[in-house]
Amino acid sequence: MLTLLALAALGGAAFWPGLSGGYLFDDLPNLAQSRTWKVDSLAPAALWAAMTSDISGAVGRPLAMLSFAINHALTGEHIYSLKLTNLLMHLVNASLVFVLCRQLLVLAPGECQAKDRAPPRVTLAAGLVAAAWLVHPLQVSTVLYTVQRMEIGAATGLLVCLATYLAARSRQLAGRPATGYFALAAAGLLGGLGFKESALVAPGLLLLLEAFVLRFRGPGGRLSRPIFGLHAVWLAAALLAYFIVVLPDAVGSSAYEARGYSAGQRLLSQGPILVMYLGQILIPSPDSMLFYYDHLQVPAGLFSPPRTAGALATLVALLGLALAIHRRWPLTALGIFWFFACHALTSNVIPLELAFEHRNYLALLGPLLALVELSRKATARLHGDAAFTAMSLPVLLLAGLCFLQASTWSDPFRLHTALAGRNADSPRANYALGVELHALARGDTRSPQWALARRQFEHAARLPQASALPDQALVVMDSTQGTPVPRAIWEPFASKLLAARPRPDDISALHNVVACRLTGRCHIPDAYLLDLLDRLDAGNPYFTEVGIIRANFLWNGPGARDEAINALRERRSRRKNEYEVDIALAQFLMASNLHANKGEILMLLDAAGAQELPPATREKVRLLAEQLDAATREEGPRQ
């Protein structure tokens, strides 16, 4: 209990300064600008609606959204409360890490025998590992990045799964019933998946626990065929799913076309990125923690640049070392493989962003485990107090660095100034600083912050990897001053959108400009927007978002409603199974002439409903059908 209280005090002190920070990056579309989770009561219907909001994936992340909804119902939209909840969950996870590490130190071959209460030296080592994991400065960008409660919650379920699995296996080895613990392990996994799909690495981590710690043993120390068979089946199923489903789907994904590189190039890029992660873990300088990694470029080949091959060789050598020492130093080998297993999803062929720090949230435990046996052997001859001091100093250093990093995160302007200073080549970091400066200017063109914001946007726009977002910011700045945007400002924005298939950030930039024009804030000639949207639509005939944005502008801008409807009908005739188009067209038809278009609208809603939809989108289709039915019943008697 004293260890858990010490962990809570240490973590609270290290992270407390950062709780006053703000939203950033993915927080904005998923939380700040979303209403789906902002419920005002704990009524079951309201909580269910929040749980089924489609924040990500086909099945959503219901437990994450439920936790955000409960936050809002109890405290309103106070970001301090959201971040405090993240911190409390992180403290719970540190307690689970402590329990897991103590189990591993007891069960690992060569260590003390399994007992109900671990020896004090083992408890001390487990507590120090948990403390180092808790206050490592790399954790700041997960704990204080509000939306990454999803990652934290997934880790909670995963840690419960691992700890209860080890408890179940310990009982099995002692010849005691273990069914209840296995059930808890399964429940933990399901709970983790309710927060985020990253909990899917659980079978891989369980396999590592068996391979390096438990050795698939049963009562009496003999090989347990059921346990070995279970993990063999899991491994075979995972490999089959990967090669039959995941790999073909990812390689053929249109998302890679938008990102501008291939699945193979992404795999090559992960070698240097994983080495970078290891460097951030082992040499945790806050200046190396950039948050934005959009400056990274994918390699053209294995030796282009040569550091790609060097990084991959380093990783292969690490895995070889782990295999070579796994009998003598099982926890070191486990720690090395743990790191790779935790990155098995995000450093693979799935077309995600190249790098994010929060992907190391649980992976960080691997290198710390790998250092446990080394540090214990190095301090084995020291007196207890001396050993404690020697092993505590690195943890205190990490806590100090964590406090400094959390202090940087305590204010949005301070954070974005630091991130832009750390990474002058990042378009996102420089754009984000420009946004903060623009907000501080409060629309005053004579303000120093206005000029600084403009300079920041211009710098971000010139960077090689830049999206259209910085150019969009310049368009908005110039078009909100009462005069039409100059063509000299408009052309770079349009040219960047037309140069290649639009990326997600480019679509956001286009949406922002169209929305600014439709709300009347921006003075952008309709001819400029129509020309850009027509050329974008013609060049990207199967890009759903572009077609819907164009139709929306036609409907709400020049009022060309028939043209908007016909554009979506034509798009639908070219390509079926785009539920976004079906829903948008149904909404346009309902707004134009409910009764006359009922048959077509029902067909569109049925077509959308037959597809695999996120829960909230399916609910939207249901509500549209109800609105159509109610409206046509009201119109019927008047015919």
Mean pLDDT of 610-638: 76
Would the pLDDT of 339 be above 90? yes
Residue 36's CB is within 10 A of a number of other CB atoms, namely 20
How remote is the C-alpha of 348 from its chain's centroid? 15
Are the C-beta atoms of residues 516 and 522 closer than 8 Å to each other? yes
- In which residue are the tokens 């880790």 written? 155
Mean pLDDT of 46-57: 77
CA distance 566 to 572: 10
DSSP string covering 34-84: --TT--SS--HHHHHHHHT--SSSSS--HHHHHHHHHHHHHH-S-HHHHHH
CA distance 431 to 554: 30
**Between 390 and 241, the higher pLDDT residue:** 241
Question: In the chain, what percentage of residues exceed pLDDT 90?
Answer: 72
Residue 233's CB is within 10 A of a number of other CB atoms, namely 11
pLDDT digits (tens, 9 = 90+) for 109-137: 864 444 434 578 888 899 999 999 999 99
Would the pLDDT of 471 be above 80? yes
**Between 259 and 253, the higher pLDDT residue:** 259
Are the C-beta atoms of residues 63 and 160 closer than 8 Å to each other? no
Predicted pLDDT at 148: 98
Task: Tally the residues of the chain.
Answer: 639
- Residue 217: strand, helix, or coil: strand
Question: In the chain, what percentage of residues exceed pLDDT 70?
Answer: 95
Predicted pLDDT at 634: 65
Predicted pLDDT at 57: 52
CA distance 77 to 32: 9
* DSSP bridge pairs for 398: none
- In which residue are the tokens 């139709």 written? 551
**Domains of the chain by range and CATH?**
2-408 (no CATH), 412-576 (1.25.40), 577-639 (no CATH)
Would the pLDDT of 35 be above 80? yes
CA distance 146 to 139: 12
Residue 486's CB is within 10 A of a number of other CB atoms, namely 12
Question: Token digits for 1?
Answer: 């209990």
Predicted pLDDT at 516: 96
CA distance 114 to 166: 11
Residue 447's CB is within 10 A of a number of other CB atoms, namely 15
pLDDT digits (tens, 9 = 90+) for 473-513: 999 999 998 889 999 999 999 999 999 888 889 999 999 99
Nearest 5°: phi and psi at 455? -65, -40
pLDDT digits (tens, 9 = 90+) for 316-333: 999 999 999 999 999 999
Are the C-beta atoms of residues 412 and 24 closer than 8 Å to each other? yes
The C-alpha angle with vertex 189 and arms to 184 and 191, in degrees rounded to 5, equals 90
Residue 467's CB is within 10 A of a number of other CB atoms, namely 24
Predicted pLDDT at 111: 46
Would the pLDDT of 632 be above 80? no
pLDDT digits (tens, 9 = 90+) for 352-402: 999 999 999 999 999 999 998 888 777 777 776 787 788 899 999 999 999
CA distance 596 to 575: 25
Longest dimension (CA), the chain: 95
Task: Please report which confidence band the pLDDT of residue 552 belongs to, taking 50, 70 and 90 as the band edges.
Answer: very high
- Residue 484: strand, helix, or coil: coil
Task: Please report which confidence band the pLDDT of residue 1 belongs to, taking 50, 70 and 90 as the band edges.
Answer: confident
Helix 225-241 and helix 202-209, axial crossing angle in degrees, nearest 10: 140
CA distance 44 to 617: 19
* DSSP bridge pairs for 602: none
DSSP 262: -
Q: Which residues of 282-295 are buried (b: 16+ CB within 10 A; e: fewer)?
A: eebebeebbbbbbb
Least confident among 410-419, 431-440, 457-466, 555-564:
555-564
